[in-house]
């Protein structure tokens, strides 16, 4: 079996584990949306939680964008299982592989369903952080998939997982502490849109916690910009390549907001969903792009901009 699964999230890794339970000798590629174009020529038996590639024999997915595109292009076949209402790709894959009666598989899928619909438990949080830390390291992702296949939802009893969590935890806590300190400083502002522009010194493994901390404190729109260049101290594979001249921007929007994150991201060449979207900005001409972003956002409220250069301490 030659398979591609979505890298860097629980649904993708649980899907990989299900495949290993059924076909232990599979060759699995962990891909991001950006990797796909380079793998379009591979004759995959299965492409899971990702858009269908040209030579894929079957596609298992639950993204509506992929579904609509395949319908439009007439590329949906009876071998594909694509259900935009499914809570996870793993929930479709377990049936496809005939593993519904496997208790370990079922429990893993339950976890993927919660994770992919925005739910969090302690276990999900832990696993998500470890996956994120190694999201660009296929050999370690394979190791994690094997741990899930062997231990199921008891993966947290695994010695390597325990060791990794012990290693990551203090850095995550350090990151959370920095953000909480910032939130406190900003608490008296009457502002609903926050832009956090991270220049250096923030642990990348804690990055996706930042928007939630803001939204939970009542902010409506959180825009997090990562333009750190230095090597990451704990998850070195996440450091940006030396020739990479882009900043990564992620936008998260509160439940009650009418702001459309996807439309906003599309204006800057990005994409995503209503409540969560992202884009990449070229660092040449960054100031101008940032200015345009602030202009656009100020139509929705009062924008607070914070530049975090933590190599020189918290600076506002």
Q: Given the rule CB under 5 A, which residues bind Mn ion?
A: 11, 49, 89, 116
Work out how close the CB of 86 gets to Mn ion at its nearest, in angstroms, rounded to a whole number. Answer: 9
In whole angstroms, the minimum distance from the beta carbon of 296 to Mn ion comes to 29
Query: What is the nearest approach in angstroms of Mn ion to the Cβ of residue 116?
Result: 5
β-strand pairing of 27-31 with 246-253? unpaired
Helix (H) / strand (E) containing 197? strand 193-200
Q: Whole-number minimum distance, CB 135 to Mn ion, in Å?
A: 14
In the complex, least distance from residue 274 CB atom to Mn ion, rounded to whole angstroms: 16
Q: Which is nearer to Mn ion, 49 or 80 (CB)?
A: 49
Q: Which is nearer to Mn ion, 109 or 293 (CB)?
A: 109
Distance CA 203, CA 19 (A): 32
Q: Counting Cβ atoms within 10 Å, is residue 118 exposed (0-12), middle (13-18) or buried (19+)?
A: exposed
42 by Cβ neighbours in 10 Å (0-12 / 13-18 / 19+) ranks as middle
Kindly tell me which of 130 and 179 has the beta carbon lying closer to Mn ion. Answer: 130
- Between 49 and 158, name the residue whose CB sits nearer to Mn ion: 49
Partners of residue 30 on adjacent β-strands? 5
Beta strands at 271-272 and 59-61: parallel, antiparallel or unpaired: unpaired
**Which residue has the CB atom at the shortest distance from Mn ion?**
11
Least distance (Å) between residue 67 CB and Mn ion = 13
Q: Report the run of H or E that residue 198 belongs to, with start and end.
A: strand 193-200
Cβ-based nearer residue to Mn ion, 49 or 164? 49
- Residue with smaller CB distance to Mn ion, 130 or 303: 130
Q: Of 110, 79, 102, whose CA–CA distance to 10 is shortest?
A: 110
Contact between 90 and 109 under an 8 Å Cβ cutoff? The reply is: yes
Q: Which is nearer to Mn ion, 49 or 197 (CB)?
A: 49
CA pair distance 261, 293, nearest whole angstrom: 12
Least gap, CB of 108 to Mn ion (angstroms): 13
> Which helix (H) or strand (E) segment is 278 a member of?
strand 276-282
* Cβ–Cβ < 8 Å for 13, 145: yes
């Amino acid at each position: 079996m030659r398979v591609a699964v979505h890298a860097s999230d629980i649904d993708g890794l649980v899907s990989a584990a299900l495949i290993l339970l059924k076909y232990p000798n599979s060759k699995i590629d962990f891909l991001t949306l950006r990797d796909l174009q380079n793998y379009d020529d591979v004759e995959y038996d299965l492409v899971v939680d990702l858009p269908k590639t040209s030579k894929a024999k079957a596609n298992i997915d639950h993204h509506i964008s992929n579904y609509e595109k395949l319908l439009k292009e007439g590329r949906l076949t009876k071998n594909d299982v694509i259900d935009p209402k499914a809570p996870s790709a793993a929930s479709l894959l377990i049936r496809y592989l005939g593993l519904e009666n496997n208790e370990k598989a079922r429990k893993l899928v339950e976890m993927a369903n919660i994770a992919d619909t925005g739910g969090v438990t302690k276990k999900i949080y832990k696993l998500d952080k470890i996956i994120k830390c190694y999201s660009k390291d296929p050999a370690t992702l394979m190791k994690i998939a094997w741990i899930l296949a062997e231990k199921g939802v008891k993966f947290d009893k695994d010695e390597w997982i325990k060791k990794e969590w012990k290693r990551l935890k203090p850095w995550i806590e350090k990151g959370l502490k920095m953000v909480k300190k910032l939130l406190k400083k900003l608490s008296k502002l009457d502002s609903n849109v926050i832009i956090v522009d991270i220049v250096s010194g923030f642990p990348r493994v804690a990055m996706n916690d930042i928007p939630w901390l803001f939204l939970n404190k009542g902010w409506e729109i959180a825009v997090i910009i990562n333009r750190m260049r230095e090597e990451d101290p704990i998850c070195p594979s996440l450091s940006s390549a030396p020739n990479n001249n882009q900043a990564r921007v992620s936008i998260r929007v509160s439940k009650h907001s009418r702001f459309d994150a996807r439309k906003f991201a599309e204006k800057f060449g990005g994409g995503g969903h209503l409540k969560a979207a992202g884009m990449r900005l070229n660092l040449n001409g960054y100031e101008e792009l940032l200015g345009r972003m602030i202009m656009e956002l100020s139509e929705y409220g009062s924008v607070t901009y914070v530049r975090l250069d933590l190599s020189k301490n918290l600076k506002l």
